Structure 1
Amino acid sequence: MKPQYERVTIPDGCSVRVYHRQLAQIPFEWHHHPEYELTLTMNSRGQRFIGDHVARYEGDDLVLVPPDMPHTWSSTEPIDTRAPGLSFGAGCAAAMRARLPLLLDASPRTRLSAVLDTLAELAGAEDAVPLASSSAHIRANPSARMTASGTASEAERLNRVFDLLDRRFNEPLRIAELCAVASLSERSLHRYFVQHVGESVGRYLIRLRLGYATRQLTETTWPVAMIATKAGFPNLANFNRQFLAARGMTPSAWRRFFEMHGRAPEPEAPVALDRRSPSLERRAKRG
């Protein structure tokens, strides 16, 4: 079975992506992505699939999945339906379980600190056991990104577009340029973007520009109008309108808040920790 490519979305103001899912059953969702994934599966028993490694698991199961390794868990029932997530295990899994309140905190800073503490603890663990073989990865070289028909995979096509957008986000970009670099029609590019990113190319580009502008507001003393121009917005009014809609305050107010408090304002809407990337969410709904 061909693994589904997952485009992992990192929320604004965050360095890591934390998911907290509570399910009656864990569906079989064979997928891969270029990021490391540390998964603690609790209160369930079933099968774990990591590359070409298949094994039974139960209780607190802690696994580090390397980039581009196909993986999934599959379970049909919890161990204890009365108190899911309350019992503590041993070793690293117990330590991570104890750190869950910090990992699921509303503040991105708190979550990042908890993730770094977890990784530092795991780095010194002496009971880690290799699972899949080295041949089980989705290879990172171009030849391994080809499908049976000889055409580039969705991941490769999208990565070309992301690379172009990251390099030239502040320039006027035509949709035809993005379609050309991905070898896709405009309709297919839009479909891939919505499926894997959850938004249109235009909205993604605006988020890139706003992210750059936000950094310059806190790291430089440039006038707001100059920042707007360097970020790629056609005029100051458009920049102010887009920034207000995304951040809940004007660029000038954002800068004043940072200067006064030494930190960025907390987002009004917290990140939804119980939702995965759009690509897998949509696949689950279709199934």
Structure 2
Amino acid sequence: MKPQYERVTMPDGCSVRVYHRQLAQIPFEWHHHPEYELTLTMNSRGRRFVGDHIAGYDGDDLVLVPPDMPHTWSSTERIDTDAPQVAVVVWFSGDWARRMADCCPEYAPLHKLLRRGAPGLSFGPTAAATMRARLQALLDASPRVRLAAVLDTLVELADADALPLASPSVHVNAGHGSRRPIPSGDALARQSTSSEAERLNRVLDLLDRRFNEPLRIAELCAVANLSERSLHRYFIQHVGESVGRYLGRLRIGYATRQLTDTGWPISVIAAKAGFPNLANFNRQFMATRGMTPSAWRRFFEMHGHTPQAAAGQPTLETRSPSLERARNRSKAS
């Protein structure tokens, strides 16, 4: 059984992503992604799978999962049957955490947390209670408030009591295509999954760097060493949308930031975002953001913040499109 590759995207203007999940039952969704994941599971009882580690969990369960390690939770019951099961998930980049630790001595403990977190960590009840106490800030509407709460939590966890999860043979080559066991105890077919992720990441990196240029599909296929049909299939499966739609979101996201961060004319912003036709830019911006670029800028100037409800941004309750599509396919079959 191959773990599903999850494409975690950071909302515009955010360094980390927080996901607030509430549901009747936590399903088994064996997956991995290149970000660190800190998950607090509440009002839930079941089994937790991290690499080759399998254990029961109960109550407030706080776990740090390292990059590219397959993992999932699978619940068996709610502790309070009148309330939903809840998972508060924080995704963050290891590179980002290291930069924060390097430039700010207050966050130097992040280096220790990342070192300790290589096999995955299960924290004790005191650490879980500390994170639970910060839920209001972690789920705040303001990205700055959420970021401060995440940083404070991570720094405290650097020295918190925790048990390592996956065995050394599983995490020693994490992120480099190593093979990892799956919950059944059989060897996990990591090579093909790693190859898919690496190919897709090469395409995503090219799109992120050159989104404002006219890119041909043949160039993307060459970078991934895939046929056009395979590239389209990989993108839909792992990212949850087509190449064109993803590229359009990158361009609109860049333009949105320039509308609030600069005084450039809208025609200049459109050109720099990769839209040589201003009318086409206005149409796509309206379709994505729910208002024209000029109205967006006026709203920001009047209120001091962007109209988040119309921003088309993932909310705290929005899950990754790649996993959502995978779950829907599973239901259909």
Give the alignment's TM-score, normalised by structure 2: 0.75
Cα distance between partner residues in 2 of 1:40 and 1:5: 21
Counterpart in 2 of 1:237? 279
Give the alignment partner of residue 130 of structure 2, picking from 95, 111, 116: 95
1:273 aligns with 2:307: no
CA shift digits 1:89-142 (9 cap, x unpaired): 95221222233233334444443343233223323x431222223432463336
Aligned length: 283
1:32/1:142 CA distance change after superposition, 3 Å: closer
Question: How far is 1:205 from its partner?
Answer: 0.7
Cα distance between partner residues in 2 of 1:239 and 1:140: 38
CA shift digits 1:6-51 (9 cap, x unpaired): 1113333433222222333322222111001011111222222212
Question: How far is 1:162 from its partner?
Answer: 0.4
Q: Which runs of 5+ in 1 are unaligned?
A: none
Question: How far is 1:149 from its partner?
Answer: 7.7
1:70 aligns with 2:70: yes
Give the alignment's TM-score, normalised by structure 1: 0.85
- Secondary structure of the equivalent of 2:223? helix
Cα distance between partner residues in 2 of 1:131 and 1:150: 24
1:120 aligns with 2:155: yes
Give the alignment partner of residue 131 of structure 1, picking from 119, 141, 165: 165
Cα distance between partner residues in 2 of 1:260 and 1:148: 52
CA shift digits 1:136-184 (9 cap, x unpaired): 246333687xx68879622111101101111211111111111221122
- Secondary structure of the equivalent of 1:102? helix
Cα distance between partner residues in 1 of 2:6 and 2:51: 15
Question: How far is 1:203 from its partner?
Answer: 1.2
1:283 aligns with 2:326: yes
- Identity score, percent: 77
1:275/1:53 CA distance change after superposition, 3 Å: same
Q: Which runs of 5+ in 2 are unaligned?
A: 87-123, 180-188
- Secondary structure of the equivalent of 2:23? coil
- Secondary structure of the equivalent of 2:8? coil
Counterpart in 2 of 1:81? 81
The CA RMSD over aligned residues, in Å, is 2.9
Give the alignment partner of residue 175 of structure 1, picking from 214, 217, 236: 217
Q: Which amino acid aligns with 1:29?
A: E
Counterpart in 1 of 2:245? 203
